[in-house]
Structure 1
């Protein structure tokens, strides 16, 4: 398997199943062994109690017959002592009489072993074996009995049924012994010891263990196959995501994982797909910025080339004394002055725009009265408007002088002057320009040539310039600077314009201390 994760998952799953199987198998075998032995004990106890009960009945019947014979002999003239001895003899020989009634000791013992289906001993209270089964071929005496024989017989003569495994060494095979009391009336007259080899139990345990091992082996094999299938199913989407990320690393931002799952893997795949979309957008944005950079260099080169060429041509003409007329010389000087002024404006605008686009550039933020700022801007714009006989009209509500904002006074003044300068530049002679303030919004509106609908999205781009005659001296950076100042002050700017009807710029402020 080339898939390392799938291999690890398969190994981990298989090891977990193996460990689980060993634990379950050990617990099962322990419980199975205990249950098998318990059932064997219950079955032996039933047989021993049944046989002991039968023997107790036979002894009681034999004693009754002996008493009858004893009474008859007494009536025949025996002395009182002889009659009493007969009764004792009848009680003592109850077991023997019963066995003789059954056809003799040997035949009864053989018959009893067949009934019990096990080796049966009968022991009296002094541990004297009255009968012995066929599991041992030698004569057993008191010294041969195991150490716990006394305790077993003692408990039996106390009327309890008990178990022992101590006779195994004597019988030369692992044996389970159950002792049951043999009673004559209410008295215990003997102990029945039923010996049963536990070899059959161990064989049953071995068979059970074999069946369990086969079952566990089959289950492990099936589980291994299932684990391989599950590991492959689990790692298949991971492989897709890996291939997608490799494609993304190569620059193919259109690569998708194709994984549709409602789980953590599905969420990860969705995140990778979102990342690919973002990278695709970033790639286009990077291309756009690169194009803007090239356009900027081309534009700035073009804007610099014209005044530099004019200044150089004028200087060469003057140095070569091509021009000798004093009036022409003055015209050349005036032209060079105008071109140098344009260059100065261009350089200043570029510096301002660069500073404003730099996040580290700090502005002097302070609380400003918007009414005072607007009146200052209008006074400065009056001189520009006077050259075209344009009237600046103001409509300020009574809250305007009291509206305060947080900003850089110089930069905000520069922003408004840029817009007013454009409004005056593109307005006809003797027209009106309105400056209003209402609902925290400053509006500058003119009736100039307006802006074409397709040009509106680009008016804040650097070096954007309309082809109008009025804009021949513009640098194309004024509106870009105004937009940067507005953005640094979180001022929302909106523009409405219609060709030949005019343009309106709206600046939406957040006053920090409005009236009321």
Structure 2
């Protein structure tokens, strides 16, 4: 029964707290904790004070009873000459009980004191004292009993006094404790509410920032207050906003650049196809022009397919989905060199490859190296030489072309960037971007420069692994 009641109480409190805001939860929990503390302290203080007052009253009553016993012992039959008027000054009552339980009251007392087992025991044992609270004629009395012996007869003197003053004092104490406790609970709850409001201000700013991002689509940073945990949380949130803003700008730039680059081959293809359709109706094209136009369409389709393939390779994070495995970078480079030889049949390749174990995805790494070699083939003279060197995880490719202009070096790996020298050469402007994207995904780096005696120079570095390295996903 008690267990089910406690469970229902906990569930009710849980529903009450969970339905409030975090600020009010902290305030309510603080107020509840203070209320329990005040209740415990108040109950303890009240109990200790009551016990102390009763002890003090009992000592006083015992002293009066012992004094009265000396007076009564001189004349037991007449109660030592004591009367109700004499006891009325102290608002006390007096009685005498014998060992056989016969009770004798002071003459003229308005209320008769009862004698119970405790008082009879004192009379018979003639040692110690007793104290208890009794109800006499509708009034609470605190009575004590002390032993008395007269001519071998054993008695107990009973003395009592109303507890009205004691109860009034305890009532006043209870009111003071209740008022102080309520004031403390209210004050603490208000202070906790204010403190929670101040502490949770950064959290509310974060929440407002999230709402602002959702509603206005504006990635504005949040002002940082302090260097505490909430300040660090705000820093992390601002870093996330900056990363999101950068990603969004890159996405917009990619879409804009892709739309621009895709428009050119599509427009040219549309013009050629319209010419072919018009020729079907009117036969306006001269002999052999139709074949030339079809060749142009095929070339434009190839350019369009290459551009779409480069865009897909650049935007998809296949390197995060495919497992990297141990492989020899020399084998991957050799395969890429063979492909480059077919594209530049008159160009000589000076190749020096050392075994270089790395963790990589063979397909994406080979494509990156092939893009570097294709770039070298594109700008090398038909009888030129391309030097390919692999040593200690560093792949160096040097061609004999015109090199890279100094102003183009910082932009060479940007998407769709093409220098003035490359305007009339085939390509999408994404090859080197794919190289940079792939190499970074493998934990490496790539750098472009000009060789002092020849043309362009590209240096790709990947981390070399030991023989005991395990594959990573």
TM-score range, shorter chain: 0.7 to 0.9
Q: Please, which of 91, 109, 114 is the counterpart of residue 135 of structure 1?
A: 109
**Mapping for residues 68-467 of structure 1, pairs under 5 Å:** 106=81, 109=83, 113=87, 118-126=92-100, 132-136=106-110, 146=114, 148=116, 152-163=119-130, 168-169=135-136, 173-184=139-150, 187-220=152-185, 222-223=187-188, 225-227=190-192, 229-234=194-199, 236-249=201-214, 250-256=216-222, 258-260=224-226, 262=228, 266=230, 270-272=232-234, 274-306=236-268, 309=271, 320=283, 323=286, 329=288, 336=293, 339-340=296-297, 342-357=299-314, 358-359=316-317, 370-371=329-330, 374-375=333-334, 377-378=336-337, 381-382=340-341, 385=344, 387=346, 390-396=347-353, 400=354, 402-403=355-356, 415-428=368-381, 430-467=383-420
Residue correspondences, number: 445
Gaps of 5+ in 1: 60-93
Please say if 1:472 is aligned against 2:425. yes
Aligned residue number for residue 48 of structure 1: 65
Offset of residue 393 of structure 1: 2.2
8 Å Cα contact 2:380/2:401 also seen in 1? yes
Alpha carbons of structure 1 residues 241 and 123: separation in structure 2 relative to 1, 3 Å: same
Does structure 1 retain, via aligned residues, the 8 Å contact 2:58–2:131?
no
Instruction: Return 108-117 or 152-161, whichever deviates more.
Output: 108-117
1:439 shift after superposition: 1.3
Q: Which moved more, 1:190-199 or 1:411-420?
A: 411-420
Q: Report the counterpart of residue 83 of structure 1 in structure 2.
A: none
Native 8 Å contact 2:329 2:356 kept in 1: yes
CA distance 1:428–1:125, change in 2 (3 Å): closer
SS of the aligned residue for 2:220 comes to: coil
TM, length-normalised to structure 1: 0.68
Q: Contact 1:342 / 1:473 at 8 angstroms: preserved in 2?
A: no
| 3-state SS of paired residue (1:290) | helix
CA change 1:514–1:437 in 2 (3 A) is farther
Alignment correspondent of 1:80: none
1:426-461 deviation digits (Å, cap 9, x = unpaired):
235654321112113221112322222342343344
1:474-498 CA-to-partner distances (Å, cap 9, x unmatched) read: 4434434555665676664332236
CA contact (8 A) 1:377 1:413 kept: yes
Query: What corresponds to 1:63 in structure 2?
Result: none
Which residue does 1:37 correspond to in 2? 54
d(CA) in 2 for partners of 1:12, 1:363: 51
How big is the shift at 1:310? 6.7
Q: 1:351 and 1:489, CA in 2 relative to 1: closer, same or farther beyond 3 A?
A: farther
Tell me the distance in 2 between the aligned counterparts of 1:418 and 1:309: 31
CA shift in 2, pair 1:483/1:315, >3 Å: farther
In the TM superposition, residue 245 of structure 1 has moved relative to its aligned partner by: 3.3
Superposition CA RMSD, Å: 4.6
Please, which runs of 5 or more residues in structure 2 have no aligned partner? 1-19, 469-473
Structure number with larger C-alpha Rg? 1
Aligned counterparts of 1:281 and 1:4: Cα–Cα separation in 2: 31
